């Protein structure tokens, strides 16, 4: 904990990327949908690359409403888990490799999706904003877009039950 000497950038990036990978790699459904995350510092953007199996209306064609809901929900859950482990990870109290197996993801209590326009057959992006995160409950808003950041195709709000903090010993 000597603040006078900043860590080398490779060390910082390696730690954060490893932790994010660890968070995602344990969830088969995230891999099944093909959802990836782009990280800039602590900011995450969820990416859903287009795939034929995500289509819900073949006539248009358009993304399945359930896929959109799942994409938003995954973006919210990962943002919450990421946000709650960030301080512990940066302080070196959580090992981004060895401790990832212990990470418990937040549980969805409810989730509401607004479908603003039909999801086009191309990549989609989502960013989540934590509006309130207490010890037990959290409220998250998610926005999803495709070609234009300002033209959302869906947004969602959800409430989540938070798992015990990683650093918390038995509390």
Partner 1 sequence: MTDIIRIARQFIEAIPHARALGMAFESLGDGKAVISMPYDPRFVGDPATGVIHGGAVSALMDTASGAAVMCHPTGPTSTATLDLRIDYFRAATPGQAITARAECYHVTRSVAFVRVTATDEDAARPVAAATGAFTLDRPRKETA
To partner 1, the closest distance from the beta carbon of 64 in angstroms equals: 4
Closer CB to partner 1, residue 45 or residue 157? Answer: 157
Applying CB under 8 A, which residues contact partner 1? 26-33, 52-59, 62, 64-67, 69-71, 73-74, 104-105, 107-115, 118
Rounded Cα distance between 129 and 44, Å, is: 10
Closer CB to partner 1, residue 53 or residue 132? Answer: 53
On whether the CB atoms of residues 85 and 94 are closer than 8 A, the answer is: yes
DSSP string for residues in 23-65:
HHHT-HHHHHHT-EEEEETTEEEEEE---GGGEEETTTTEE-H
To partner 1, the closest distance from the beta carbon of 90 in angstroms equals: 25
Closer CB to partner 1, residue 11 or residue 60? Answer: 60
To partner 1, the closest distance from the beta carbon of 36 in angstroms equals: 15
Closer CB to partner 1, residue 2 or residue 23? Answer: 23
To partner 1, the closest distance from the beta carbon of 160 in angstroms equals: 10
Secondary structure element (H or E) that encloses residue 130, with its range: strand 124-133
CA 26-40-152 angle, 5° bins: 85
């Amino acid at each position: 904990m000597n603040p006078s000497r900043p860590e080398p950038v490779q060390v910082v990036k390696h730690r954060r990327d490893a932790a994010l990978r660890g968070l995602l790699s344990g969830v088969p459904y995230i891999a099944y949908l093909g959802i990836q995350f782009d990280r800039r510092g602590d900011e995450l953007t969820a990416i859903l690359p287009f795939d034929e199996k995500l289509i819900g209306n073949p006539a248009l064609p358009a993304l399945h409403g359930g896929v959109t809901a799942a994409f938003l929900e995954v973006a919210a859950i990962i943002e919450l888990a990421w946000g709650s482990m960030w301080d512990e990870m940066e302080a070196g109290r959580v090992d981004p490799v060895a401790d990832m197996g212990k990470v418990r993801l937040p549980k969805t209590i409810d989730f509401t999706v607004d479908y603003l326009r039909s999801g086009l057959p191309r990549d989609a992006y989502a960013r989540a904003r934590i509006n309130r995160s207490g010890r037990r409950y959290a409220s998250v808003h998610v926005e999803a877009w495709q070609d234009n950041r300002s033209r959302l195709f869906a947004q969602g709000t959800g409430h989540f039950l938070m798992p015990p903090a990683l650093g918390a010993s038995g509390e």
